[in-house]
């Protein structure tokens, strides 16, 4: 097959990869449907893919990974910069030269007897001012087919790169998937990514976490924009206006569910609609009108399967009904479809995620791995925003942060201004699952939900947020909010129903942005007046007293929280901005008894 480009930097790099990896054959991924179909057929013939029921799940496949290779590996993820200081204390660090030597040693000649696939891909619509391009070489058809869903691939990307040297160089080598030799390495100064000895999506679909967050956050620092772990959604009002917001939550807090929520009936009847722009990553920059715009650089959803069902997220479920690759879910042998925990009708005649005979009615073992995934094309999502492909992104009214806090954080509150908002994001935290049993769980700080994804030093990242604020006129700045769907009463029950009813909170947030509703100033920021949260149709589930409780601030708990934030800031070293330390001092003073 011919090369698809005359770009010297690309051809030299591919030749260098061939010399290192020694493939039998090189195949350039051109993005044609015929090529992808042929690769899927090949993967079925070797057993790498199982073709599912074509009538019920057209063009859908099941894939199983090695049981030791089923999740992102934070402990083996490295930022490789010339100095340790550049990566900061939250990241693992290795020196670039030694790392190249180590990794090249592991992967040398590992493509022998195999094909090297060269995938040109774009994060963002090809040609958009936001978009960035990359190439990933891989020995895995699974990676090619997933990248085809998650990113825009092929010839148009090479045409857009033209003769430029500005593209990300990505090397993936499956090797033997040995967990001891597994490395996920980002080299921000070299625009380079290596994923070695893994085939799990979050490690090897390099467009996602490796590029669109770790490398992109570093690029954003130097080019004055932001790569954030945020969903983007639009709320359409009965008059047809649509307002957009971005929201960041740590994992297991329902980001995909919020991004695709179904409005409560009272809202639907009035004509409100919810539109999804993205469920995981937002690239954010100032537009020509001085406002901030967000774009989803991805092209698909790489979602957690278990728990996704008609009640929790009918839109995500619908998105998986065609052209989807399922990873590590259970197989229903009766009709050759898939199953996971949270769906009805567990199959009696099934195979579990490792391919072992499994009876969903009687087995106490899980059918699907808890982190099993679907890779589904965005275009399948029934509530996909018509602005999703807009190369200029959507204007952002609000940044929303959140986490699981059983007692501390109110249902919603608003920051006083940009810097206070950055303070709230920087001190974000979530309680571990101990919270589910009623006990207050262990608090893990996860600033802006970016803890595993900031490609450089955390304090410097906070400063970048503050600096971006200074570039935007105050009247054009998005407003900052914090939400907590997970507040519990004294018996340990969740106080807020969540899911679609979270729209009631988003409604208040957007009303605040439009200046349409008052708020109460408290020690921690602006809280809603209880009567301004619309409980219409929810009166049986949430009493006014319960709502008041969810909107209360316990100064003693906040004083403890301030101590926790101080400890966290201390652990981050000297780069934590003075402005944020001032914010912390203000909080401490406000909640002191
Ligand atoms: C993800 C994650 O898979 O955040 O999106 O881990
Ligand atoms: Mn994520």
Residues facing residue 278 across a β-bridge: 232
Please tell me the residue having the least CA distance from ligand 1 atom 5: 280
Among 245, 276, 280, CA closest to 259: 276
**Range 33-41 contact pairs with CB under 8 angstroms and sequence separation of 24 or more:** 36/144, 36/145, 36/148, 39/141, 39/144, 39/145, 40/141, 40/145
Q: In the chain, what is the greatest distance between 2 CA atoms, to the nearest angstrom?
A: 74
Q: Does the annotation count 210 as an active-site position?
A: no
DSSP string, 414-465: E-SSHHHHHHHHHT-EEE-GGGGGTS---EEE-GGG-TTT-SS-HHHHHHHH
Give the tens place of pLDDT for each residue, 477-497.
Answer: 999 999 999 999 999 999 999
Residues facing residue 488 across a β-bridge: 494
- Is residue 16 within a helix (H) or strand (E), and if so which, with residue range? helix 8-21
Residue 433 reports pLDDT greater than 70: no
- What number is the average pLDDT over the span 199-210? 96
Q: Say what the pLDDT of residue 253 is.
A: 87
Ligand 1 atom having least distance to the Cα of 373: 3
Q: Say what the pLDDT of residue 440 is.
A: 54
Q: How many CB atoms lie within 10 A of CB 280?
A: 23
Q: Which ligand is nearest to the CA of 373?
A: 1
CA distances from 308 to 83, 317, 371 (A): 43, 7, 12
Q: Say what the pLDDT of residue 313 is.
A: 97
Instruction: List the catalytic residue out of 197, 210, 253, 383.
Output: 253
Residue 104 reports pLDDT greater than 70: yes
Tokens of residue 367, six digits: 């059918």
Tokens of residue 553, six digits: 């601030």
- Is residue 252 within a helix (H) or strand (E), and if so which, with residue range? none
Give the tens place of pLDDT for each residue, 21-45.
Answer: 999 999 999 999 999 999 999 999 9
Ligand 1 binding pocket, CB closer than 6 Å = 72, 202, 251, 280, 302
* Best mutation site among 213, 230, 251, 259 for ligand 1 pocket (most ligand atoms within 8 Å of CB): 251
Residue 435 reports pLDDT greater than 60: no
Q: How many A from CA of 459 to the centre of ligand 2? A: 21
Please tell me the residue having the least CA distance from ligand 1 atom 4: 251
First to last CA, the chain: 74
Q: Say what the pLDDT of residue 593 is.
A: 78
Tokens of residue 286, six digits: 């100032």
Q: Say what the pLDDT of residue 57 is.
A: 98
- What number is the average pLDDT over the span 508-517? 98
Model confidence band, residue 3 (pLDDT cutoffs 50, 70, 90): confident
* Best mutation site among 209, 213, 250 for ligand 1 pocket (most ligand atoms within 8 Å of CB): 209
Burial class of residue 489 (count of CB atoms within 10 Å of its CB; 0-12, 13-18, 19+): middle
CA distances from 79 to 75, 96, 281, 463 (A): 12, 9, 19, 19
Residues facing residue 122 across a β-bridge: 133, 152
Give the tens place of pLDDT for each residue, 576-585.
Answer: 999 999 999 9
Q: How many A from CA of 229 to the centre of ligand 2? A: 6
Q: What is the mean pLDDT of the chain?
A: 96
Ligand 1 atom having least distance to the Cα of 449: 4
Helix (H, G, I), strand (E, B) or coil at 259: helix
Please tell me the residue having the least CA distance from ligand 1 atom 6: 251
- What number is the average pLDDT over the span 404-424? 96
Q: How many DSSP H helices and E strands does the chain contain?
A: 17, 31
Of 151 and 442, which is predicted with more confidence?
A: 151
Burial class of residue 556 (count of CB atoms within 10 Å of its CB; 0-12, 13-18, 19+): exposed
Name which of 67-76, 105-114, 417-426 the model is least confident about. Answer: 67-76
Please tell me the residue having the least CA distance from ligand 1 atom 2: 251
């Amino acid at each position: 097959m011919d090369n698809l480009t005359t770009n010297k930097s690309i051809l030299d790099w591919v030749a260098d990869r061939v010399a290192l990896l020694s493939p039998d054959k090189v195949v350039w991924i051109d993005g044609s449907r015929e090529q992808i179909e042929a690769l899927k057929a090949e993967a079925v013939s070797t057993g790498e893919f199982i073709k599912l029921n074509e009538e019920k799940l057209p063009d859908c496949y099941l894939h199983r990974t090695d049981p030791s290779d089923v999740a992102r590996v934070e402990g083996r993820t490295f930022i490789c910069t010339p100095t340790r200081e550049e990566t900061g204390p939250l990241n693992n660090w290795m020196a670039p030269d030694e790392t190249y030597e180590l990794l090249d040693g592991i992967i040398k000649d590992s493509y022998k007897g195999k094909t090297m696939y060269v995938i040109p891909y774009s994060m963002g619509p090809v040609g958009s001012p936001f978009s960035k391009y990359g190439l990933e070489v891989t020995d895995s058809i699974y990676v090619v087919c997933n990248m085809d869903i998650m990113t825009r691939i092929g010839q148009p990307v090479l045409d857009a790169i033209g003769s430029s040297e500005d593209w990300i160089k990505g090397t993936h080598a499956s090797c033997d998937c040995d967990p001891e030799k597994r490395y996920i390495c980002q080299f921000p100064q070299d625009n380079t990514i290596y994923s070695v000895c893994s085939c799990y999506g979050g490690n090897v679909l390099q467009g996602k976490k490796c590029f669109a967050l770790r490398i992109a956050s570093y690029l954003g620092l130097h080019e004055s924009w932001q790569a954030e772990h945020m969903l983007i959604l639009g709320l359409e009002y009965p008059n047809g206006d649509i307002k957009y917001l971005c929201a960041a939550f740590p994992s297991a807090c329902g980001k995909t569910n919020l991004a695709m929520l179904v409005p409560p009936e009272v809202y639907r009847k009035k004509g409100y609609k919810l539109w999804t722009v993205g469920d995981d990553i937002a690239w954010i920059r100032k537009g020509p009108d001085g406002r901030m715009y967000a774009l989803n650089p991805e092209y698909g959803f790489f979602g957690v399967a278990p728990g996704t069902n008609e009640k929790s997220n009918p839109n995500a479920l619908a998105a998986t009904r065609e052209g989807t690759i399922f990873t590590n879910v259970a197989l229903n042998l009766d009709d050759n479809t898939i199953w996971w925990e949270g769906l009805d009708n567990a199959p009696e005649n099934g195979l579990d995620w490792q391919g072992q005979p499994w009876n969903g009615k009687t087995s106490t073992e899980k059918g699907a791995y808890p982190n099993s995934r679907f890779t589904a094309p965005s275009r399948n999502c029934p509530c996909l925003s018509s602005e999703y492909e807009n190369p200029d992104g959507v204007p952002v009214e609000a940044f929303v942060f959140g986490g699981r806090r059983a007692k501390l954080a109110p249902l919603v509150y608003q920051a006083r201004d940009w810097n206070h908002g950055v303070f709230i994001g920087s001190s974000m935290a979530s309680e571990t699952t101990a919270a589910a049993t009623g006990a207050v769980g262990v608090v893990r700080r996860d600033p802006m939900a970016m803890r595993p994804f900031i490609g450089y030093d955390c304090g410097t990242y906070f400063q970048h947020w503050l600096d971006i604020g200074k570039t935007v006129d105050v009247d054009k700045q998005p407003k900052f909010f914090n939400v907590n769907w997970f507040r519990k009463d004294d018996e340990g029950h969740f106080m807020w129903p969540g899911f679609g009813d979270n729209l009631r909170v988003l409604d208040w947030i957007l009303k605040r942005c439009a200046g349409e509703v008052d708020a109460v100033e408290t020690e921690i920021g602006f809280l809603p007046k209880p009567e301004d949260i619309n409980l219409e149709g929810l009166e049986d589930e949430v009493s006014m007293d319960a709502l008041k409780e969810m909107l209360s601030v316990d100064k003693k708990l906040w004083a403890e929280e301030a101590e926790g934030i101080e400890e966290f800031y201390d652990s981050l070293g000297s780069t934590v901005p003075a402005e944020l330390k001032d914010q912390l001092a203000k909080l401490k003073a406000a909640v002191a008894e």
